[in-house]
Structure 1
Amino acid sequence: MPRLKIDVDYLAGQLKALLAIDSPTGYTDTIVRYVTEELERLGLEPVLTRRGAIRAIWRGARRRGARAIVTHVDTLGAQVKRVKENGRLELVPIGHWSARFAEGARVTIYTEKGSFRGSILPLKASGHAFNEGVDEQPVGWDHVELRPDALAFSRSETIALGIDVGDYVAIDPQPEFLDNGFIVSRHLDDKAGVASALAALQALRREEAETPVDTHWLFTISEEVGVGAAAIVTPEIASMVTIDNGTTAPGQNSSEFGVTIAMADQSGPFDYHTTRKLVDLCREEDIRFQKDIFRHYRSDSASALEAGHDIRTALIAFGVDASHGYERIHMHALRSVAELVTAYVTSPLEIERDVEEISAIEGFTEQPTQAAKQPTRPRSLPEPP
């Protein structure tokens, strides 16, 4: 079956709904409930791990040798490290992101007694008070503080409100969906991936598509702290494609348009055969794509392999400008990613031995080793006299 048409209005609607739900790693119950309900609405029967990672299976012609599509619902955020004597809060980040992008953020503090609003500010926040000192102070989590919007001007007053060490801080996404297709927001990593996966599922349901093997749709809750898909992969799964962000920055080959297919990340190369299949599908289905390698990046694929799962892994990405900051993507990339997912899960299974966890050499894969054909004479050189 060729790639399916994606309902971009549905995709955008899901992304808006996901961005409206705070979900820093460790505080994901609400978004887990939302995604579970949407999967049920699409006709699947999701199940949850103890902590809330989601698995929903699209039944195919065979259960063994299954494929998986994985995204993560958790985002960056922060926790309260200390209540300061001035009533403000010292923070530690959840996930890896710079305090440069935290300065000026509006936030929600989640405590045992309820939530409070506030702002993350540099320690020297007023030019009227500190003059050039505002620009000269260093960047880092030791140089910012959270100002709660509450009657709390001392440590005792803040603690009396119920704000304490370990409370979660969710950063406002502040999304904008522009008419030209650009989307600007925090936390597009990886809520845009979740929306793309749901849009692909919606297209499969609409077309009553058939797949050669089961497809496990996985939604993890702790990717931003490196755990991710460590505990959600089951023995039936032979290959897993992660949907996450690509980095559009100097020195990278990612784009905000089309699909970016990762060849490797900091944990090493992705599976040769799965990656090659995705590239071939893009060519066959006329899906714009580019390849990239990420040196300072890892995803759910890495956590699954590090946990000991012997599966083939790949990563397809939507290009993000200013990743882990105030991010920007384009709907063209999200649509392209969803299209590739539909093409992949409905495509034939080429490596039959993958239905077994252990088997003999018969049917084992081959990688090309022959020399490539080359022109006998470089085109740039003139004809010999």
Structure 2
Amino acid sequence: MSLLAIDLDYLAGALEALLAIPSPTGYTDAIARHVCLELERLGVAYEVTRRGAIRARLPGAVTRPARAFVSHVDTLGAQVKALKDNGRLELVPIGHWSARFAEGARTTVFTEEGAYTGTILPLRASGHTFNTGVDELPIGWDHVELRIDAYARSKADLNRLGVDVGDIVAIHPCPEFLDNGFIVSRHLDNKAGVAVMLAALKALVEAKAQPTVDVFWLFTIAEETGHGAASILTPEIASLVAIDNGTTAPGQNSDEFGVTISMADQTGPFDYHLTRKLAHLCRDNDIKWQKDVFRFYRSDAASAVEAGADVRTALVTFGVDASHGYERIHMHALRSLAELAVCYATSPVEITRDATEFGSLKGFTTQPTRDAEQSLHPDTRRPERPEDDSGPEHG
């Protein structure tokens, strides 16, 4: 089918609404409710796990082999490690991010008595007092503290306010949506991925486009701490495409424009056939794309496989500059990802054997083993298949 139009105003609005809801890992109830209400508005059926992960389903022409997209609603954050004698708070990070990007961040501390805003500051925060000592302070979580915006000059004051060890600290995103399409904010990883999935769902629903097979839309709540999609897949899901951030940094091939397809991350290569199918869909539908390999990166796809799910996995990304810091993306990449998601959801299933969890070699996939020049058709540049029924190339 031809490319469906993606409602960019809806996509931007969805992202802005998501960014406005604090959701560090461990504090995701509010954003889970928000996503569920949005799915209801779109007319998409869903169910929620005990802890708040969401599994929505768009019915296809057949049920198997089902496909799934996954993104995570949780973000980086911090947690109170100790109440200090000076009325400040010692912190530990939620997720993996540098204290370099915590310095100066505005925050909200959620206590059982209520919420307080505050600022994360280096232990030496005043140049008028410490002079060059401000620049000599090392970078690290042991060298910052949280100053809350309330009367707190001692540990006793903090106790009276109801602040306690373990309280969750959300980092304010401070989003900016620029007229030239750039978006600057914290937590674009991965609220932008969630917005992409919602925009793709909206396009499919409004066009009354029935997917080829059932497509599940998974929203996880603990990707930043490594749990991710460990317990949300169903047995009929054969292919899982994670939508997350790519790293546009020196030495990387990611881009803030178009789709960046990850061929591997720190857990190893993604599925050979699924990644190539996604690349061919980009090429055939004139969606800008490029490939990359991430060395210090894992996603929801990794957590699913490590939990024992026998699924083909892929990772498609929007290029992010300064990931896990003050991030920047471009709407072009978000639109491109939504277009790819729609294309994949409505594309033919070529590995029909994936409908069953176990089978014979009949229909099993093949990978090229001969010289590249011999094994490729000159017109399509795709590997030839043997004449027997050894199976297709893509999922």
- Shorter-chain-normalised TM-score: which range? over 0.9
Report the equivalent of 2:247. 247
User: How far apart in 1 are the matches of 2:174 and 2:347?
Assistant: 38
User: How far apart in 2 are the matches of 1:148 and 1:370?
Assistant: 65
Report the equivalent of 2:341. 341
Report the equivalent of 2:135. 135
CA RMSD after TM alignment = 0.7
User: How far apart in 1 are the matches of 2:218 and 2:103?
Assistant: 33
User: How far apart in 2 are the matches of 1:2 and 1:130?
Assistant: 63
1:39-77 CA distance string (max 9 Å, x none): 111111211010000001000011121000000000000
Tell me the SS of whatever aligns to 2:120.
strand
Report the equivalent of 1:216. 216
Give the aligned residue type for 1:326: Y
Report the equivalent of 1:75. 75
> What's the offset of the Cα at 1:141?
0.1
User: How far apart in 2 are the matches of 1:219 and 1:104?
Assistant: 30
> What's the offset of the Cα at 1:206?
1.1
Pairing 1:192-271 to 2, within 5 Å after superposition: 192-271=192-271
Give the aligned residue type for 2:78: A
User: How far apart in 2 are the matches of 1:57 and 1:303?
Assistant: 21
> What's the offset of the Cα at 1:3?
2.5
Report the equivalent of 2:91. 91
User: How far apart in 2 are the matches of 1:32 and 1:237?
Assistant: 22
Q: Which runs of 5+ in 2 are unaligned?
A: 375-395
1:302-358 CA distance string (max 9 Å, x none): 000000000000000000000000000000000000000000000000001000000
User: How far apart in 2 are the matches of 1:24 and 1:330?
Assistant: 23
> What's the offset of the Cα at 1:265?
0.2
Tell me the SS of whatever aligns to 1:354.
helix
Report the equivalent of 1:154. 154
Identical amino acids, percent of aligned pairs: 71
Tell me the SS of whatever aligns to 2:372.
coil
User: How far apart in 2 are the matches of 1:361 and 1:155?
Assistant: 67
User: How far apart in 2 are the matches of 1:183 and 1:329?
Assistant: 5
1:160-200 CA distance string (max 9 Å, x none): 11000000000000000000000000000000000000000
Report the equivalent of 2:392. none
Pairing 1:302-317 to 2, within 5 Å after superposition: 302-317=302-317
> What's the offset of the Cα at 1:4?
1.3
User: How far apart in 2 are the matches of 1:154 and 1:203?
Assistant: 54
> What's the offset of the Cα at 1:2?
2.8
User: How far apart in 2 are the matches of 1:183 and 1:44?
Assistant: 28
Give the aligned residue type for 1:354: D
Give the aligned residue type for 2:95: G
1:346-376 CA distance string (max 9 Å, x none): 00000010000001010100111121229xx
User: How far apart in 1 are the matches of 2:286 and 2:44?
Assistant: 30
Pairing 1:230-379 to 2, within 5 Å after superposition: 230-373=230-373
Report the equivalent of 1:172. 172
> What's the offset of the Cα at 1:95?
0.2
Give the aligned residue type for 1:8: L
User: How far apart in 1 are the matches of 2:342 and 2:119?
Assistant: 41
Give the aligned residue type for 2:330: H
Give the aligned residue type for 1:186: R
User: How far apart in 2 are the matches of 1:307 and 1:68?
Assistant: 16
Number of residue equivalences:
374
User: How far apart in 2 are the matches of 1:373 and 1:311?
Assistant: 31
Tell me the SS of whatever aligns to 1:230.
coil
User: How far apart in 1 are the matches of 2:167 and 2:157?
Assistant: 16
> What's the offset of the Cα at 1:211?
1.2
User: How far apart in 1 are the matches of 2:2 and 2:246?
Assistant: 25
Report the equivalent of 2:23. 23
In the superposition, the TM-score normalised over structure 2's length comes to: 0.94
User: How far apart in 1 are the matches of 2:71 and 2:87?
Assistant: 38
User: How far apart in 1 are the matches of 2:155 and 2:202?
Assistant: 50
Give the aligned residue type for 1:298: R
Tell me the SS of whatever aligns to 1:228.
coil
Report the equivalent of 1:36. 36
